[in-house]
């Protein structure tokens, strides 16, 4: 019996619920810490970033319009599918990062647990971030958080899955859509995670994942007038002050690089507070 040939995989982008190649046709090689070839990954261009923003903008209203309970159920389904593909992610992390299977498994488990944690906040964060305000008059004054819109994210670059999940999950809770630049060195698990999203109930375009150079792509997203917020979690090695200045031109919310902690404050960072006045009944 002859030996089978392997099927080398090219990991493509994830835009609008589809998996296109970069419009530039560019790819780059992903190698193990020992220099072994693992796969080709698409190298996203400025045009790919624009397409991803367009897809996110189109998908965001429907996602924001779903009930908080429904968003929570959809996100929980993502965790279920990710758990079911645990072995694949462990193998990818071992190959990319050169860590032990136990360490890779711990990263996948932490990603699943964190995703479930944020899913649980979908129908609870409004009670924490909102408020009934005291008013000296015959009115009710109610503050309620709403999604800011499209969030551009530079994912943490030091790992292949957990950093991506820790940045993407809180932005989705309130109803935002995201465009995320994955780890350049460890991109394979990010596109596999896009496959998880595509086989869950997340509407196409809610999460768009770009692979390639953050230094090349991030400035275009910071400049883009249809991006409402920028999370620079993984931009510590970039000129992130310049990215802040670019974002300021269109009054974007910006989170600076730093350690990502699981917190409802990270959910609130991507919301706007809507205040409603309503007269009290005089009957």
**Coil, strand or helix: which one is 138?**
coil
> What does the DSSP 8-state code read for residue 200?
T
Asked if residue 230 is part of any domain, the answer here is: yes
Q: Where are the beta strands (DSSP E) in the chain?
A: 10-11, 27-31, 37-42, 131-133, 139-147, 150-154, 177-181, 207-210, 229-231, 253-255, 271-279
Domain that residue 36 falls in: 10-279
Q: Which pTM does this prediction carry? A: 0.92
Asked if residue 1 is part of any domain, the answer here is: no
Asked if residue 189 is part of any domain, the answer here is: yes
pLDDT at 4 (0 to 100): 79
Asked if residue 4 is part of any domain, the answer here is: no
Asked if residue 164 is part of any domain, the answer here is: yes
Residue among 235, 78, 251, 245 at smallest CA distance from 153: 235
- 231 vs 81: CA distance, rounded Å: 26
Share of the chain above pLDDT 70, in %: 98
Q: What is the CATH number of the domain that holds 185?
A: 3.40.605.10
Domains contained in the chain, number: 1
pLDDT at 115 (0 to 100): 98
Asked if residue 74 is part of any domain, the answer here is: yes
**pLDDT higher for 257 or 129?**
257
- Block residue for tokens 């770009």: 210
């Amino acid at each position: 019996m002859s030996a089978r040939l392997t099927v080398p995989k090219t990991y493509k982008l994830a835009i609008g619920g589809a998996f296109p190649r970069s419009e530039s046709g560019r790819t780059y090689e992903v190698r193990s810490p020992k220099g072994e070839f693992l796969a080709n990954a698409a190298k996203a261009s400025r045009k790919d970033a624009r397409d991803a923003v367009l897809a996110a903008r189109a998908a965001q209203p429907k996602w924001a319009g779903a009930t908080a309970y429904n968003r929570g159920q959809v996100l929980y389904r993502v965790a279920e599918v990710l758990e079911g593909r645990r072995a694949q992610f462990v193998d990818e992390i071992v190959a990319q990062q050169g860590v032990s299977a136990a360490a890779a498994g711990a990263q996948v488990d932490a990603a699943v647990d964190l995703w479930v944690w944020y899913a649980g906040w979908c129908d609870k964060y409004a009670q924490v971030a909102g408020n009934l305000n005291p008013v000296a008059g015959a009115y009710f004054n109610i503050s309620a958080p709403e999604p800011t819109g499209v969030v551009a994210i530079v994912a943490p670059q030091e790992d292949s899955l957990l950093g991506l999940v820790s940045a993407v999950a809180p932005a989705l809770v309130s109803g935002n859509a995201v465009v995320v630049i994955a780890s350049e060195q460890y991109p394979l698990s990010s596109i596999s995670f896009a496959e998880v999203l595509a086989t869950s109930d997340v509407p196409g375009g809610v999460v768009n994942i770009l692979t390639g150079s953050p230094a090349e792509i991030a400035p275009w997203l910071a400049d883009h007038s249809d991006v409402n917020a920028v999370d620079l979690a993984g931009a510590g090695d970039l000129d992130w002050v310049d990215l802040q200045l670019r974002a300021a031109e269109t009054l974007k919310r910006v989170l600076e690089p730093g350690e990502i902690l699981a917190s409802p404050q990270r959910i609130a960072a991507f919301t706007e507070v809507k205040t409603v006045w309503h007269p009290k009944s005089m009957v």
